[in-house]
Chain A
Amino acid sequence: MEKNKQTNPATKKKVDASGLTKKERRALKVQEKGKQNPENKKDDKKEVPKAQPPKNTEKPVVTTNQLSEKELRKLEWEKKLAEQKAESGDKKEALSKAELRAKRREQQEAQRSAKTNVTTTKQKEQKEEKKPQKKAAEVKKTPVTKKPEKKKHLVRRLEFVNHLYSDATFGNTIVNFKNVHPAFVKLGVQYSSKRILGSNARCRALLTAVKVLIKDIQTPPKQEFCRYFETVLQSCMEHLNRCRCSAVSMNNALTNFKTELRRLSKSEEPDNQKKENLLEVIDTYIDHQMDRAGEAISMKVNEKINNGDVVLTYGCSSLIKKILSDAHSKGKQFQVIVVDGRPFLEGRQMLQRLVQIGINCSYVQMNALCYVMSLVTKVLLGAHALLTNGYVMSRIGTAQVALVAQAYNKPVLVCCETYKFSEQVLTDSFVYNELDDSEKLICVDTLEESSPLALCRNNDNLHILNMLYDVTPPDLITAVVTELAILPCTSAPVVLRLKPQAF
């Protein structure tokens, strides 16, 4: 109780009818007894500890001294009170009472601090205890409001990209997924962990897995091979889509394969023959659409690269890599500037492969783009897909490179095989995109100190979006190099119309 008084002097004490607190009443009693009988001191000792229960065992010994001092002080004050009563009103009494209490407190504090320093720290601890208690009380008061905030924190979503978030769940199975071939399970893990990155690589991997599926499949007796294969392929593709969204190149390749499959289903050949036909279909697709198209594009761009050129490229495109290595092997002298963008930092892989070949390379990050752009003679960019309205969908950052290149009047060539042409029409990067883990943008593995964005994790008002693709408008692009011809961007629908119904 004494401690409380010291920490919260402002709180009112209970005052009874006579206008005195308990302590004062006791003190008065004691004084009276003390006046009467000095023998009653022992009783006082007993009385006081009983009357004030929350006391340490040390205190009864000391309180006698305090009491004796108290008694003396109180005697003095009572005398003064009695004098002042006669003179003035209640205010002064109150003041004197306050002074009484204040003086008592001061003396007790001094005595205690003289004893040990531990007691003062105890008071500090009590203050701290009071604070967390208060905080706990506050928390208890607002449990309802805090919980939905926490939920929001875990599943924070921006409204305007709500359609891009994926909720992939596989349930409890870790192995032996039903209806999914092991090659596709492995492919799913490789896609979602970004082990296979790049539209050409993903398409190639998908077609290889389909070949394995063709070789392994055993048609049950009463079903037709092609229809059964289609259902199996459908369940495998659903699994893959849960792991990661399909690329445009993958979708186009599969559409082509399915039309071939349907064409085969009408024929009367035995199953083994059909399987071989399908394998051949896939092999020719890879050969024609990827390998040979790559060769043709490489030859066309080779004519455009002159000695002394400084070629700028962004990120890592397998096609651009092939073009540059072919040009180098044909003896052309040129330099390459590789521009890189986070979080994938694919430019490092491009740099590694070009340097191994022996090309003279420079490496900059996106912030140095304007600085190097004045040195550049042409810009070569890869593409994920070419859309019907002429826009180019590519790794995020490509639009930026094209914009700066146009500002500096540098020619921008986008190299894209025709199998990546898509029937979609997009004018912005939000309607159709892919979102990756936002943690990757926050962590910076090239810096030893923690990233400056690390504070953003806890900020409720800041959402971090890690988008994978962006869309470049055709007026920023000089030409698109395909295996058919070097075309302006807006000719994409013409190509789609002229190419046989493989799409």
Chain B
Amino acid sequence: MTLQAEFQAVVLAAGKGSRMPEITSGKPKCLLPVGTKPLVWYPLYKLQQSGFTDVILVVLEQQKSEIQSVLDKTELEIKIEYFPISGKEDLGTADSLRMLHDRLKSDVLVVSCDLVSDVSLKGVLDVFRMHDASVASLFFHSQGGDGLVVPGPKSKHKPERDLVGIDVQTNRLVFLASASDFESELSLPRALLKKHTHIKMYSNLVDSHIYVLKNWVVKYLNSQQSFSTIKGELLPHIVKKQLSKPPKVTEGKSVLSNFDSEDIFNFAKEDEFSIAIRETSSFNDHSGDFRGTYHGDSIRCYAVVAPKDCYGVRVNTLPSYWTVNNKVNEKWDKITNGLSLALKHPKIENKSSQVDDKCVIWEGAKLNEKTSFKNSVIGSNTEVHSFSRVFNSIVMNNVTIKEKVALENCIVSDGATIESGCQIKGCLIGSNHTVPEQSEHSQEVLTDTDRLMEF
């Protein structure tokens, strides 16, 4: 039976990985290897587990064929519709959602490609359904730091912090901003505090970038050309609008003026039946003041905080990529709900005897004799010659590692070549870069310099 789907899932995989340019210069961010699967596989699998049968994947035009070939090899049952966007204009997440507006007929579940988590989507979806919310978002508690040494030059990785204000009684999201917008002080409107008397302000929550949006939000976005990112601009705007009242229709003025038709409250109008049901139902989401349910707001934004034992990481910076690779195989059962984990792909040529249990080896890798591997990821079609050792590293596809190379704590991007006799510790090696013979490097970025700057 073909009934209209309750939610349509959109996965945003057109990000350029601008926070970690050293490893994303030659490779789409969504295809970075995390354990045995590419990064974008994790949100897609989670959507599949939740019951979605198709998903729209937003990708960059030039990366589409690569992503498609990689995803076809993974055995995903979910039907993926690729939506290419041009990489020449600098399009944000909201821009890509705007371009999709005619395909989106129902409420939208927006997921970013870089989320690795074991959380269930039921919590945020049930809150969305229960309160007939306009926006529902999911937050994680921050995972403790591992103290792992991140490869590359030592730089203070300042994590981007979000300030999230949640009304304790009703779980409504009343304040959302990035901490970098404020220098030393944060001011809240008095009306907000009068309305929501008990607000908890968090600065250490990780925004999962899972947003459930009502259909009218997409239509509103289509009418406003000024928003370019969902998280940075669209959401804070809608959260602020919760506090405003719809403009009163004064008699004598024409209702069809341009300004009125673009007002958010025109889009967010609730139908009279919902209002009638709300009036007759003896439910109130808050108590303590003599106001009606939801204070009569037609725009309602909710924030769901995942339980503390949930694991959720956004893989958009180098330290998070490094830690997630370390932890993903431990958390595999929880993340995938019992999918079998095959660390070593069957089609590899493994002549090495010292490959430990934690190593992940992708298809077509060639490991010669007398090599030693500990806790590493070896990408597909990578060849490692004799007398080399790879410890604690991530080696991506089509890499050649010659003899007597010692690699420790490194990330080697696609197509690189490491000539014999190198001793490399804690470095980031860019794609298609050749590290000359007998070189020793520690905590550096080795790359062809013209790759880093992209205009």
Q: Which residues of A are at the interface with B, using a C-beta cutoff of 8 A? A: 172-182, 185-186, 189-190, 193-198, 200-202, 204-205, 208, 216-218, 220, 232, 315-318, 344, 346, 348-350, 352-353, 355-356
Establish whether residues B282 and A173, one from each chain, have CB atoms under 8 Å apart when the complex forms: no
| Interface residue ranges of B209-225 to A (CB < 8 Å) | none
Given the interface pairs A316-B282, A356-B290, the reply to whether A175 lies near B2 with Cβ below 8 Å is: no
Establish whether residues B283 and A195, one from each chain, have CB atoms under 8 Å apart when the complex forms: yes
Establish whether residues A197 and B283, one from each chain, have CB atoms under 8 Å apart when the complex forms: yes
Residues of A with C-beta under 8 A to B5: 175-176, 182
Task: For residue A283, give the distance in angstroms from its CB to the closest CB of chain B.
Answer: 10
Contact with B51, one of A172, A193, A346 (Cβ below 8 angstroms): A172
Stretch at the interface among B128-136, B318-326, B434-442: B128-136
Q: Mark B277-293, 1 if CB is under 8 A from A, else 0.
A: 10111111001001110
Contact with A175, one of B6, B273, B274 (Cβ below 8 angstroms): B6
Given the interface pairs A175-B50, A179-B1, the reply to whether A198 lies near B280 with Cβ below 8 Å is: yes
Indicate the member of A318, A346, A349 with the most B CB atoms within 10 Å. A349
Considering the chains assembled together, what is the distance between the CA atoms of A352 and B283 in angstroms?
11
Establish whether residues A349 and B282, one from each chain, have CB atoms under 8 Å apart when the complex forms: yes
Nearest to B7 among chain A residues (CB) is A175
Establish whether residues B277 and A196, one from each chain, have CB atoms under 8 Å apart when the complex forms: yes
Nearest to B1 among chain A residues (CB) is A179
Given the interface pairs A174-B125, A197-B282, A346-B282, the reply to whether A205 lies near B277 with Cβ below 8 Å is: yes
Residues of B with C-beta under 8 A to A220: 1
A204-B276, A348-B284, A349-B283 given. 19 additional CB < 8 A pairs? A172-B49, A174-B121, A174-B122, A175-B52, A178-B1, A182-B5, A186-B6, A189-B129, A193-B126, A201-B282, A208-B277, A216-B4, A220-B1, A315-B282, A318-B282, A348-B287, A349-B282, A349-B284, A355-B290
Q: Which 4 A-B pairs have the closest CB atoms?
A: A182-B6, A316-B282, A201-B281, A173-B51
| Interface residue ranges of B40-95 to A (CB < 8 Å) | 49-53
Residues of B with C-beta under 8 A to A196: 277, 281, 283
Residues of B with C-beta under 8 A to A179: 1, 3
Residues of A with C-beta under 8 A to B242: none
Residues of B with C-beta under 8 A to A346: 282
Establish whether residues B280 and A204, one from each chain, have CB atoms under 8 Å apart when the complex forms: yes
Interface residue? B120 (CB, 8 A) = yes
Residues of B with C-beta under 8 A to A350: 282
Task: For residue A294, give the distance in angstroms from its CB to the closest CB of chain B.
Answer: 10
Residues of A with C-beta under 8 A to B129: 185-186, 189-190
| Interface residue ranges of B124-152 to A (CB < 8 Å) | 125-126, 129-132
Q: Mark B385-410, 1 if CB is under 8 A from A, else 0.
A: 00000000000000000000000000
Interface residue? B432 (CB, 8 A) = no
| Interface residue ranges of B1-15 to A (CB < 8 Å) | 1-7
Residues of A with C-beta under 8 A to B3: 179-182, 216-217
Given the interface pairs A189-B126, A204-B277, A216-B4, the reply to whether A175 lies near B51 with Cβ below 8 Å is: yes
Considering the chains assembled together, what is the distance between the CA atoms of A193 and B121 in angstroms?
17
Per DSSP, are chain B's interface residues mostly helix, strand or loop, or mixed? loop
Contact with B280, one of A180, A193, A200 (Cβ below 8 angstroms): A200
Nearest to A211 among chain B residues (CB) is B273
Considering the chains assembled together, what is the distance between the CA atoms of A348 and B53 in angstroms?
44
Interface residue? B229 (CB, 8 A) = no
Residues of B with C-beta under 8 A to A352: 284, 290-292
Considering the chains assembled together, what is the distance between the CA atoms of A355 and B292 in angstroms?
11
Q: Which residues of B are at the interface with A, using a C-beta cutoff of 8 A? A: 1-7, 49-53, 106, 109, 120-122, 125-126, 129-132, 273-274, 276-277, 279-284, 287, 290-292
Task: For residue A199, give the distance in angstroms from its CB to the closest CB of chain B.
Answer: 10
A-B CB contact pairs (8 Å), 28 listed:
A174-B125, A175-B52, A175-B109, A175-B121, A176-B5, A176-B6, A176-B7, A176-B51, A182-B3, A182-B4, A182-B106, A185-B6, A185-B129, A186-B129, A196-B277, A197-B281, A204-B273, A204-B276, A204-B277, A205-B281, A216-B3, A218-B2, A316-B282, A317-B282, A346-B282, A348-B284, A352-B284, A352-B292
Indicate the member of B109, B121, B290 with the most A CB atoms within 10 Å. B290
Considering the chains assembled together, what is the distance between the CA atoms of A198 and B6 in angstroms?
26
Nearest to A235 among chain B residues (CB) is B1
Considering the chains assembled together, what is the distance between the CA atoms of A169 and B1 in angstroms?
22
Residues of A with C-beta under 8 A to B292: 352-353, 356
Establish whether residues B130 and A190, one from each chain, have CB atoms under 8 Å apart when the complex forms: yes
Residues of A with C-beta under 8 A to B50: 173-175
Considering the chains assembled together, what is the distance between the CA atoms of A173 and B53 in angstroms?
11
Considering the chains assembled together, what is the distance between the CA atoms of A185 and B130 in angstroms?
10
Residues of A with C-beta under 8 A to B280: 198, 200-201, 204, 318
Task: For residue B431, give the distance in angstroms from its CB to the closest CB of chain A.
Answer: 38
Residues of B with C-beta under 8 A to A193: 126, 130
Establish whether residues B282 and A198, one from each chain, have CB atoms under 8 Å apart when the complex forms: yes
Residues of A with C-beta under 8 A to B6: 175-176, 182, 185-186
Task: For residue A501, give the distance in angstroms from its CB to the closest CB of chain B.
Answer: 27
Nearest to A179 among chain B residues (CB) is B1
Task: For residue B238, give the distance in angstroms from its CB to the closest CB of chain A.
Answer: 20
Task: For residue B25, give the distance in angstroms from its CB to the closest CB of chain A.
Answer: 37
Residues of A with C-beta under 8 A to B52: 175-176
Nearest to B123 among chain A residues (CB) is A174
Task: For residue A241, give the distance in angstroms from its CB to the closest CB of chain B.
Answer: 17
Task: For residue A170, give the distance in angstroms from its CB to the closest CB of chain B.
Answer: 9
Task: For residue B290, give the distance in angstroms from its CB to the closest CB of chain A.
Answer: 5
Considering the chains assembled together, what is the distance between the CA atoms of A395 and B8 in angstroms?
40
Task: For residue A478, give the distance in angstroms from its CB to the closest CB of chain B.
Answer: 25
Establish whether residues A198 and B1, one from each chain, have CB atoms under 8 Å apart when the complex forms: no
Establish whether residues A201 and B121, one from each chain, have CB atoms under 8 Å apart when the complex forms: no
Considering the chains assembled together, what is the distance between the CA atoms of A178 and B273 in angstroms?
26
Nearest to A347 among chain B residues (CB) is B282
Task: For residue B275, give the distance in angstroms from its CB to the closest CB of chain A.
Answer: 11
Task: For residue A218, give the distance in angstroms from its CB to the closest CB of chain B.
Answer: 7
Considering the chains assembled together, what is the distance between the CA atoms of A201 and B273 in angstroms?
11
Task: For residue B197, give the distance in angstroms from its CB to the closest CB of chain A.
Answer: 15
Residues of A with C-beta under 8 A to B290: 352, 355-356
Residues of B with C-beta under 8 A to A204: 273, 276-277, 280
Residues of B with C-beta under 8 A to A356: 290, 292
Task: For residue B308, give the distance in angstroms from its CB to the closest CB of chain A.
Answer: 20
Indicate the member of A197, A232, A317 with the most B CB atoms within 10 Å. A197
Establish whether residues B1 and A186, one from each chain, have CB atoms under 8 Å apart when the complex forms: no
Indicate the member of A195, A198, A202 with the most B CB atoms within 10 Å. A195
Indicate the member of B121, B125, B129, B131 with the most A CB atoms within 10 Å. B129
Considering the chains assembled together, what is the distance between the CA atoms of A176 and B50 in angstroms?
9
Considering the chains assembled together, what is the distance between the CA atoms of A35 and B114 in angstroms?
85
Nearest to B291 among chain A residues (CB) is A352
Nearest to A200 among chain B residues (CB) is B280
Indicate the member of B1, B49, B131, B291 with the most A CB atoms within 10 Å. B1
Nearest to A188 among chain B residues (CB) is B129
Nearest to A212 among chain B residues (CB) is B273
Residues of A with C-beta under 8 A to B106: 182
Considering the chains assembled together, what is the distance between the CA atoms of A216 and B6 in angstroms?
12
Considering the chains assembled together, what is the distance between the CA atoms of A196 and B284 in angstroms?
10
Indicate the member of A176, A200, A315, A318 with the most B CB atoms within 10 Å. A176
Contact with A186, one of B132, B276, B282 (Cβ below 8 angstroms): B132
Nearest to B109 among chain A residues (CB) is A175
Considering the chains assembled together, what is the distance between the CA atoms of A179 and B49 in angstroms?
18
Residues of B with C-beta under 8 A to A217: 3
Considering the chains assembled together, what is the distance between the CA atoms of A315 and B7 in angstroms?
37
Considering the chains assembled together, what is the distance between the CA atoms of A208 and B49 in angstroms?
31
Task: For residue B215, give the distance in angstroms from its CB to the closest CB of chain A.
Answer: 11
